[in-house]
Amino acid sequence: MNKMDTLKIAVQKSGRLKEDSMKLLKDIGISIDNGKDQLKARASNFPLEVFFLRNGDIPQYLKDGVVDAAIIGNNVIVENGNSIESICNLGFSKCRVSIAVPKEMKYKSLQDLEGKQIATSYPNTVNAFLEKNNINANIHVINGSVEIAPNIGLAEAIVDIVSTGGTLFKNNLIEKDVILQSEAVLAVSPSIKPTQKTILNKIKFRIQSVLKGQSSKYVLLNAPNNSLEAIIALLPGMKSPTVLPLAKSGWSSVHSVIDKHQFWEIIDDLKALGAEGILICPIEKMVL
């Protein structure tokens, strides 16, 4: 295959984000044989080359056109990639960039940060947030182990990534305000070529099919015909439910798709309308 017809995509070289990124590529049917400590790998069944890079370096590689796309946390783009567009949320690596302070600090609002020292690995994000809220504070940039800063007198507050809050708790800190909600996204280089953009659109389509399947359930049930109209109103499906007559007179089989978050509420309503033999099945992929 012509190398010019290959999409170059960056993923984090280690950690949970890498694991989830590689699983996603596998789920969309792309086979990649990457050995231990390998920094570059090609797909065997798709025009794709994967670069395993340091997370903080990826925005610059996108800006420079070294890679055409990346799977990266939105927080990293906000901090370092103001010219980079994200074209698809991926639903994993969810976290937040938050303000945290020592538990003993009297903190009632953002105004309590006025004149304070704030330690962070996200100076651009923090400065923009402070400016937006008309707060003057001093930023102390730390790359890693930000949580320790208040304990050693480097800062009076921190801004850092929070997922469960366990690390904050261990360091006697409490989360106060969320600056940014973040998750993994599919990002694109501003200099991507048309051929690579076509390949990227295929990947985006596959990803959206997988994500839609993960958020939906397939439901099959037997319904009395005198309740069909009410049952169909509960089950819109992708266009409309499939209704098939059963051998038993006065009954039909109804097949449809429901949002997994409405699962129990809809099931209770279906049972109340006389539905029986309700089966709920996971959907691997859903192509719209």
Boundaries of domain holding 111: 95-182
The closest alpha carbon to 132, from 80, 68, 177, belongs to: 177
Tell me if 24 is assigned to some domain: yes
pLDDT in tens, 40-72: 999 999 999 999 999 889 999 999 999 999 999
Residues 6+ apart with CB under 8 A from 96: 161, 162, 163, 178, 179, 180, 181, 182
Rounded Cα distance, 117 and 105, in Å: 13
202 pLDDT more than 90: yes
Residues 194 and 86 in one domain: yes
Residues 88 and 164 in one domain: no
Out of 182, 203, 233, a domain closes at 182
- Average pLDDT of the residues in 165-189: 94
Tell me if 287 is assigned to some domain: no
Residue 264 or 171, more confident: 171
- Average pLDDT of the residues in 188-199: 96
Out of 164, 198, 213, a domain closes at 213
pLDDT at 265: 83
pLDDT at 237: 65
CATH number at residue 250: 3.30.70.120
* Number of separate domains in the chain: 3
Out of 135, 161, 182, a domain closes at 182
pLDDT in tens, 120-159: 999 999 999 999 999 999 999 998 889 999 999 999 999 9
Residues 187 and 247 in one domain: no
pLDDT at 57: 92
Confidence tier at 264 by pLDDT (50, 70, 90): confident
Tell me if 246 is assigned to some domain: yes
- Average pLDDT of the residues in 162-177: 92
Tell me if 148 is assigned to some domain: yes
Residues 154 and 253 in one domain: no
Residues 20 and 156 in one domain: no
pLDDT in tens, 210-261: 999 888 889 999 999 999 999 998 886 667 889 999 999 999 999 999 888 8
pLDDT at 157: 96
91 pLDDT more than 70: yes
Q: 155 φ, ψ to 5°?
A: -155, 160
Could you tell me how many residues make up the chain?
288
pLDDT at 122: 95
pLDDT at 173: 95
102 pLDDT more than 90: yes
161 pLDDT more than 80: yes
Residues 68 and 136 in one domain: no
Tell me if 134 is assigned to some domain: yes
pLDDT at 70: 97
Instruction: Calculate ∠ Cα 86-90-91, nearest 5°.
Output: 130
Tell me if 288 is assigned to some domain: no
35 pLDDT more than 90: no
Residues 57 and 198 in one domain: yes
Return mean pLDDT, the chain.
Answer: 91
- Average pLDDT of the residues in 163-178: 92
CB 87 within 8 A of CB 204: yes
Residues 269 and 157 in one domain: no
Residues 50 and 155 in one domain: no
Tell me if 278 is assigned to some domain: yes
Tell me if 52 is assigned to some domain: yes
Residues 79 and 108 in one domain: no
pLDDT at 4: 61
pLDDT at 3: 57
Rounded Cα distance, 74 and 68, in Å: 17
| β pairing state of 117-120 and 157-162 | parallel
pLDDT at 15: 87
Residues 21 and 64 in one domain: yes
Residues 247 and 230 in one domain: yes
Residue 36 or 113, more confident: 113
Instruction: Say what percent of the chain tops pLDDT 90.
Output: 76
Residue 109 Cα distances to 106, 112, 127, 133, angstroms:
9, 6, 17, 11
CATH number at residue 23: 3.40.190.10
119 pLDDT more than 70: yes
